[in-house]
Amino acid sequence: MKAASILWRRLPRAAAVCLLMMSLLPVRAEGAEPPVRIGISAEFGVIGSTSAQAVEMGARIAAEEINAAGGVLGGRMIEVLVRDDRSVPARAIRNIEEFAADPAVVAVMCGKYSPIVVESVPVVQALRIPLLDPWAAADPITEHGGTPDYIFRLSMRDSWAMRAMAEHARARGIGKVGLLLPNTEWGRSSERAFRRLAEAGNAPRIAGAEWYYWGEPSLGTQYQNLLRAGAEMLILVANEREGVLLVKEMAALPAGQRLPVLSHWGITGGTFFENAGAALGQVDVAVVQTYSFLGADDPVARRVTAAAARLGAPDARRIPSPVGVAHAYDLVHILARAVERAGSADRAAVRDALEEVRDHQGLVKFLSRPFEPGRHEALSPSDVFLARYAPDGAIEKLPQPGR
C-alpha cells in the first residue's frame, strides 16, 4: 500500500481534506430542498493515521452515488461534514454536540478509536442522535443498555477478533499465547474476550498478559516478559505506532526469539507498513480483517474501486485502510434507506427505520436485515478473517491453516 500515491498524503492534510470534500460536494440548485447531513467525528489530525480518511472516503463515495440517483426524500442531497477529534474524548463529545445542534444532521459517524466512542455513547444516547460505527470494535460500545438504542455498528467486535485469532492459533498448534495490550477500554475489552475463550477451552492457554500505555518508547520489557513466561505466539492489540515499535524491536532480536504475531486491526488504520519497512519482512505478522477489495469483482466493489481511483487510490491494492472505506460506504447507504423508510430526516424516526431496513446488497456482504431491536451489529463473527501485508503493502487474505 504505497501511501504516497494517495492524493491526500501528497498534500498538507488540511488542504487534502478540503480538496476531497470539494470533489464530492453536491451542488445545490437555488430553491432546492436543504441537504440531509451526516457528520463524521474522527481522528483526522492523528499523525500517521489513515482510518478517518478511509471512513470519509467510503462515506463520500456512498453519498455521491445516492445524490447521483436523486438523493433522498424527493430530491434532498446527502451532505457529509467532517470534524477532527484528534482522538481526544472531549473533542469528540464537543463535535457530537455541535453536530446535534444542527437540525439538518441526521446521524453522526465515528472513527477507529474505541475509547473515544465508549466515552461518547452516553452523550449520543442523551442527545438521541444515531451514531454509526464503521470501525471502533470494543464490545461495550453496543452493550450500553440504553433504550431506545441509538448506536449502530457495521464493524468488528473485540470478542470476534479474539475468537478468530484463537482459532487461528489453535489451528497452528499453538499451546500458549502472550497478550500484549493497551491500558485502555479497547485493551481491556480484548483481554476479557480472550480470557473467556481460554477458560472455556476454546483458545490456547494464556502464558501472561502485559500492558502498555500510548506513547511508551519501548515494548521490549513487556515482550521479554511474555517470552520468559513461555508464550509461543503473541496476541497484539495495537495501533500503527505501537505496531511499528514492536516489529522493529522484534526484528532486532535473534530469529529464535521472534514469536509469530496475531494482531488486532488497529495497525491497518495508518502508516504501519510504510514505517515498519524492512523489519516487517523479519517478523511473522497476521492481522484480522472483515473485508478485502482484492479479488472482489461484484458490481458494488467495481463501483467503489473506480470511485476510489478518482480520489487517488489507483487500484484495489492501494485503497487505504480498506475496512474503513467499506464499512462507512455500507453504513451511509443503509442510513439513506432508513431516511426513505422514515419519510423524513427526523432522528427518532430514522433510528426506528434503521431497525427495519431489509435486503440490503452492500459492499461487505448482502444483509437481509442489518439491524433489528436488540441487535445493532450488522456483521457477525463469520465475517472475520486473518490477513497479511504483501510486499507491496496490500492486505491479502490468508488461507485458513490446514486447508
Instruction: State pLDDT tens for residues 122-153.
Output: 999 999 999 999 999 999 999 999 999 999 99
- Are residues 112 and 229 located together in one domain of the fold? no
- Are residues 94 and 126 located together in one domain of the fold? yes
The answer to whether position 278 is within a domain reads yes
Q: What is the domain extent for residue 223?
A: 159-289+385-397
pLDDT of residue 113 exceeding 70, the answer is yes
- Are residues 146 and 165 located together in one domain of the fold? no
Instruction: Assign 33 a pLDDT band (cuts: 50, 70, 90).
Output: confident
With beta carbons less than 8 A apart as the criterion, state whether 362 and 325 touch. no
With beta carbons less than 8 A apart as the criterion, state whether 63 and 38 touch. yes
Tell me the C-alpha distance between 14 and 176, whole Å: 46
- pLDDT at site 27: 46
* Cell of residue 291, nine digits: 473485508
Positive or negative: CA dihedral 337, 342, 347, 353: negative
Total number of domains in the chain: 2
pLDDT of residue 28 exceeding 70, the answer is no
- Are residues 280 and 316 located together in one domain of the fold? no
Instruction: Assign 298 a pLDDT band (cuts: 50, 70, 90).
Output: very high
- Are residues 9 and 63 located together in one domain of the fold? yes
The answer to whether position 403 is within a domain reads no
- pLDDT at site 357: 98
pTM of the full predicted structure?
0.91
Residue 272: partners with Cβ closer than 8 Å, 6 or more residues away: 240, 243, 244, 389
* E strands present in 89-248: 105-109, 131-133, 151-153, 176-182, 205-212, 233-236
* Cell of residue 205, nine digits: 492457554
Residues 170-187, mean pLDDT to the nearest whole number: 96
The answer to whether position 330 is within a domain reads yes
- pLDDT at site 399: 85
Residues 234-241, mean pLDDT to the nearest whole number: 97
The answer to whether position 377 is within a domain reads no
- Are residues 143 and 217 located together in one domain of the fold? no
- Are residues 11 and 143 located together in one domain of the fold? yes
- Are residues 169 and 76 located together in one domain of the fold? no
- Are residues 345 and 367 located together in one domain of the fold? yes
Higher pLDDT, 244 or 4: 244
pLDDT of residue 402 exceeding 90, the answer is no
Residues 184-200, mean pLDDT to the nearest whole number: 96
- pLDDT at site 14: 38
Q: How many CB atoms sit inside 10 A of residue 294's CB?
A: 17
The answer to whether position 380 is within a domain reads no
Tell me the C-alpha distance between 23 and 25, whole Å: 6
- pLDDT at site 1: 36
Q: pLDDT tens digit string along 57-73?
A: 999 999 999 999 999 99
Mean pLDDT of the chain: 92
- pLDDT at site 253: 98
Instruction: Assign 29 a pLDDT band (cuts: 50, 70, 90).
Output: very low
Q: pLDDT tens digit string along 245-291?
A: 999 999 999 999 999 999 999 999 999 999 999 999 999 999 999 99
Instruction: Assign 31 a pLDDT band (cuts: 50, 70, 90).
Output: low
- Are residues 235 and 330 located together in one domain of the fold? no
Instruction: Assign 396 a pLDDT band (cuts: 50, 70, 90).
Output: very high
With beta carbons less than 8 A apart as the criterion, state whether 338 and 106 touch. no
Cα distances (angstroms) measured from residue 212 to each of 116, 223, 230: 18, 11, 19
Nearest to 151 by CA among 166, 138, 165, 164: 138
pLDDT of residue 18 exceeding 50, the answer is no
Residues 117-124, mean pLDDT to the nearest whole number: 98
- Are residues 168 and 256 located together in one domain of the fold? yes
**Block residue for cell numbers 442527545:** 127
- Are residues 254 and 312 located together in one domain of the fold? no
* Cell of residue 384, nine digits: 472475520
Share of the chain above pLDDT 70, in %: 91
Domain of 348, CATH number, reads 3.40.50.2300
